[in-house]
A = this chain, B = another copy of it.
Amino acid sequence: MPRTAFFVSDRTGITSEMLGHTLLTQFEDVKFHRVTLPFVDTPEKAQEAVQKIREQARLDQCRPLVFCTMVDEALRTAFQIDEAFTLNFFEAFIGPLEQELSRKSSHTVGKSHGITNFEEYKTRIDAVNYAMIHDDGVMPRDLNEADIILIGVSRAAKTPTCLYLALQYGIKAANYPLTPEDFGQHTLPRLLLPYRNKLFGLTIDPVRLAQIREERKPGSKYAALDNCQFEVNEAEALMRHVGVPYLASTTRSIEELATTIMHQAGLTRRNY
C-alpha cells in the first residue's frame, strides 16, 4: 500500500510539492500517493484539509506525511496532529533567518509565486513569445536578439527546452533543426553562421530517437533506426567540427537540460 503524502500550501502548492518531492525521491523503495492541497488560506480551509488528512490516515491505517509551506503560524499549527507526520518548512527556517537578518519576516502569503513587478513579468512573457515565434527554424529578422540558439536533429527536445528557458528564466531562446540537407558540407547552415557564438547543441541516443519518432510517424524513413543513427552521427560530427558545445537529452529532464545549458553557456536568469 502506498504511503500518502500531502503537500499543503496557502497558495499555489508549487514550493510545497517541490520540497516534498525532493525529499521523497530519496526513498526509492517506498511508493507514495501524492495529494496537493493548495490555497489553504483560512482557518476553515485548514480544518477541511486536516479533515481530509485524518480520513486518509484512517483509510491507509498509517499516518500520512504532510509537507507544509504555510506562512501563517496559526494555520500551520492546525496540521500538528497525532494522525500525521508533519514537516513545516517555514517553521524550520524562518526563525534562524530572522535572527541572522535581525528583523521579523513579513508573514505575507503568496509572495513567492506572485507577480513581483511588471518589468519582470514582461521579460518573461516576451521570452515566451520569442520562443514561440522562433521555433523549429522559423527565423524572422530579430535573431540577433536571441540569448541562445539551440540546434540539433528533429525531436532532440529543443522546443520544450527553449520554452522552459523562457518561462523559468526569461531567456530568449530560438531553435533550429539540423536536417539531412544540412549534412555533408561540414559547415553550419548559412543562416546560423553570424550567430556561431550563440549556438548550443542538443543530441540524443539514436535508439531513443527512433522510439520517439516512431510514435509520431510510424513506419516512416524519418523514424527508421538507421536513419536516426545517420542523422545523429552527422549532427554530432558537424557540431564537433565547428566547435558547438552539445549535450545529450536522452537521460536528462527538461529542467536539467535548461539549467546545464545556462551554466555552460554562462547565461544569467532575467527574472526571479
Contact = CB atoms under 8 A, between A and B. Distances in A.
Given A96-B87, A128-B163, A256-B113, A19 B28 contact: no
Contacts of A94: 23, 26
Contact of A27 (B14, B22, B103, B125): B103
A11 B254 contact: no
A93 B163 CA distance: 33
A29 B96 contact: no
A26 B124 contact: no
B105 A27 contact: yes
Contacts of A105: 26-27
Of the listed residues A25, A65, A103, A108, the one surrounded by the most CB atoms of chain B closer than 10 A to its CB is A25
Given A27-B103, A167-B163, A113 B253 contact: yes
A198 interface: no
A12 B108 contact: no
A108 B24 CA distance: 11
Given A26-B105, A65-B100, A121-B253, 17 more contacts: A14-B255, A21-B112, A23-B90, A23-B94, A23-B97, A25-B112, A26-B108, A28-B106, A34-B272, A38-B259, A39-B263, A92-B92, A114-B252, A114-B256, A125-B157, A128-B159, A163-B163
Interface string A12-46: 11110011011101111110001010110000000
A69 B107 CA distance: 24
A221 interface: no
